[in-house]
């Protein structure tokens, strides 16, 4: 009986702690609750939704007077009935149209120009799908979350050497194969990019993210949730309400059916600056997969575009 009561008490404590973290992490978008590519607001409790995960490094050790850029971008769609997830990593050097600047640039520069809002608009423009929610995480929290879980198990796809989060050269060395990774090692695997290209880097980021999901949702990790929430603390920002975050638990209890999608493209240099030129056909195929998964049609996209233009005209008149 005492064990049951203690478990109930711990559960109530975690619930309250999680609610506090969610409240402190909440950031409203200027657009409001609804994407301009939606005809109505959505809720993960009963709708298919999309979430844009942004990884940034704005630690004090890297504060050299430069504006933070996104170092990792993953767009994921969630289908409520199928209890399935589709996700794609967007290479940080992707040469894309940035609406706020009305010009093309690296996609990670969208955050420089317009922070989370500007990045969301750029990703929506790229795939022609709504980005309903975003979750931005500082890489310091990434390390702490993995440490709070006592590490994660990952089948490392390649042997490499990388600097650590403090920029110490060759501090991390991982060999190919299944192994337990600590926070610094997991971050190095997700961030290393000199050994191949941004496409392979995106695959590794998804590999690490899935390993964190698997470990966090395992029964043995329940007692570690307090440390995880402390790790997140002020290092995470989202436009999701606490109740909306809780609604995603249904996906976890259904076995996390996740499909990884991959963009294709080629290297490109403009004025001696490197870019990754996305293949138009690849972008179109993934756009169609996302639309099908969200169960929205091209007609829906057209209607939302017209509605957005009408809203802009109304605003300009007023």
**pLDDT tens digits, residue range 244-294?**
888 887 777 776 688 999 999 999 999 999 999 999 999 999 999 999 999
What is the value of pTM for the model shown? 0.83
43 has a pLDDT exceeding 90: yes
pLDDT band of residue 139 (cuts 50, 70, 90) is confident
Q: What are phi and psi of 54, to 5 degrees?
A: -120, 125
314 has a pLDDT exceeding 60: no
pLDDT of residue 9: 43
**CB-count exposure of residue 145 (10 Å: 0-12, 13-18, 19+):** buried
311 has a pLDDT exceeding 50: no
pLDDT of residue 189: 95
Alpha-carbon dihedral 292, 293, 294, 300, rounded to 10 degrees: 0
126 has a pLDDT exceeding 50: yes
- Mark out the alpha helices in 110-260 (DSSP H runs): 110-127, 139-148, 183-191, 198-216, 225-232, 242-247, 249-253
pLDDT of residue 204: 93
For the chain, percent of residues with pLDDT exceeding 70: 78
Buried b / exposed e along 66-89 (16+ C-beta atoms within 10 A): eebbbbbbbbbbbbbeeebbbbbb
Question: Which residue from 22, 251, 250 is spatially nearest to 135, judged by alpha carbons?
Answer: 22
Structure tokens that stand for 224 in this block = 């570690």
Structure tokens that stand for 262 in this block = 């991959």
Q: CA–CA separation, 130 vs 283, rounded Å?
A: 15
In the chain the first and final C-alpha atoms are separated, in Å, by 65
pLDDT of residue 75: 97
DSSP 26: B
Q: Which residues contact 155 (CB under 8 A, 6 or more apart)?
A: 177, 178, 207
DSSP H or E run through 259: strand 257-261
7 has a pLDDT exceeding 90: no
Decide if 188 contacts 172 (C-beta within 8 A).
yes
Structure tokens that stand for 173 in this block = 């060395």
pLDDT of residue 312: 47
Domains of the chain (ranges, CATH numbers) = 27-317 (3.40.630.190)
Cα distances (Å, whole numbers) of residue 70 to 73, 118, 154, 220, 305: 7, 11, 24, 32, 27
164 has a pLDDT exceeding 50: yes
5 has a pLDDT exceeding 50: no
Q: Which residues contact 202 (CB under 8 A, 6 or more apart)?
A: 74, 88, 89, 90, 91, 262, 263
The answer to which of 29-33, 86-90, 299-303 has the lowest mean pLDDT is 299-303
> How far from chain centre, in Å, is Cα 242?
17
Alpha carbons within 13 A on the beta-carbon side of 162: 20
Percent helix, strand, coil in the chain, to 5, is 45, 25, 30
pLDDT of residue 53: 95
């Amino acid at each position: 009986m005492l064990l049951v009561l203690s478990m109930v008490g711990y559960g109530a404590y975690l619930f309250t702690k999680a609610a506090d973290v969610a409240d402190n992490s909440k950031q409203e978008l200027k657009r409001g609750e609804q994407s301009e590519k939606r005809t109505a607001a959505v809720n993960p409790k009963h709708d298919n939704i999309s979430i844009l995960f942004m990884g940034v490094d704005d630690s004090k050790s890297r504060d050299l007077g430069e504006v933070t850029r996104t170092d990792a971008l993953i767009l994921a769609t969630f289908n409520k009935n199928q209890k399935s997830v589709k996700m794609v990593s967007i290479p940080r050097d992707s040469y894309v149209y940035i609406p706020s600047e009305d010009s093309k640039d690296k996609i990670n520069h969208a955050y420089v120009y317009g922070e989370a809002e500007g990045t969301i608009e750029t990703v929506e423009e790229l795939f022609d799908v709504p980005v309903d929610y975003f979750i931005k995480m500082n890489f310091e929290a990434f390390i702490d979350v993995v440490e709070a879980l006592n590490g994660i198990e990952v089948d490392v796809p390649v042997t490499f050497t990388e600097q650590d989060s403090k920029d110490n050269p060759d501090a991390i060395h991982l060999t190919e194969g299944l192994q337990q990774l600590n926070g610094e090692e997991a971050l190095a695997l997700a961030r290393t990019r000199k050994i191949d290209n941004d496409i392979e880097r995106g695959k590794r980021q998804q590999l690490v993210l899935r390993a964190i999901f698997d470990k966090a949702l395992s029964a043995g990790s329940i007692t570690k949730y307090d440390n995880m929430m402390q790790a997140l603390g002020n290092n995470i920002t989202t436009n999701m309400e606490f109740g909306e975050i809780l609604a995603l638990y249904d996906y976890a209890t259904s076995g996390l059916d996740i499909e990884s999608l991959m963009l294709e493209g080629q290297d490109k240099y403009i004025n001696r600056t490197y870019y990754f030129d996305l293949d138009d056909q690849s972008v179109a195929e993934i756009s169609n997969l996302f639309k099908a998964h969200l169960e929205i049609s091209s007609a829906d996209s057209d209607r939302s575009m017209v509605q957005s233009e009408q809203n802009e005209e109304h605003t300009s008149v007023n």
